[in-house]
Structure 1
Amino acid sequence: MAKSTRSRVGEFEKSLKELETIVEKMEAGDQPLETSLKDFERGMELARQCRDSLQKAELRVQELLEKADDAHDKSSEDEGS
């Protein structure tokens, strides 16, 4: 795995962990309203970051699958000649 890919995965996991922590704190209901609002705002930002990371990962998987299909098709054509 390339260094930048590992970095993105690490960032995704870090963001997801922070988001889970925020959700747990908010579900407990022990914090003041202002703190909950700040946590909610941060949670929305983290959710957006995670969604963007997942979309990029999905596109990358699609690209890899297309390359694999192209290589397979080319190899099949070569064998058929």
Structure 2
Amino acid sequence: MSRKTTVRHFEENLSELDTLVTQLESNQLSLEEALKAFEKGVKLSQECQSVLTQAEQKVQILLEKQDGEHLETFDPELNS
């Protein structure tokens, strides 16, 4: 997945998560709908956390290399 796709995917997931939270807080969902929304929210939250963890790792790599050495490319497949 490209960086732009990852960022867009993250932002879409975050927006959807926000919508789910609003729906859950409205108390307008049936118990079954609320459980489905909660389950989807947990999945979206985990996906967002994964992207944030990868970004944090990339920042750490960049900070460690800030003394002017060649910056290595971050590969989430290798660093997860």
Coarse TM-score class (shorter-chain normalised): 0.7 to 0.9
Query: Cα offset for 1:28?
Result: 0.2
SS in 2 for 1:68: coil
What letter matches 1:31 in structure 2?
A: L
Q: Which has the higher Rg, Structure 1 or Structure 2?
A: 1
Q: 2:23 aligns with which of 18, 22, 25?
A: 25
Question: What pairs with 1:29-40 in structure 2 (closer than 5 Å)?
Answer: 29-40=27-38
Residue aligning to 1:75: none
Aligned partners of 1:62 and 1:14: how far apart in 2?
25
Residue aligning to 1:10: 8
What letter matches 1:7 in structure 2?
A: T
Runs (5+) with no aligned partner, structure 1 = 73-81
> Which protein has greater RCO, CA pairs closer than 8 Å, 6+ apart?
1
Question: What pairs with 1:66-81 in structure 2 (closer than 5 Å)?
Answer: 66-69=64-67, 71=68
Higher helix share: 1
After superposing on structure 2, the runs of 4+ consecutive aligned residues of structure 1 that deviate more than 2 Å are none
Say how many residue pairs are matched: 69
TM-score by length of 1: 0.80
TM-score by length of 2: 0.80
Aligned partners of 1:11 and 1:20: how far apart in 2?
14
Runs (5+) with no aligned partner, structure 2 = 70-80
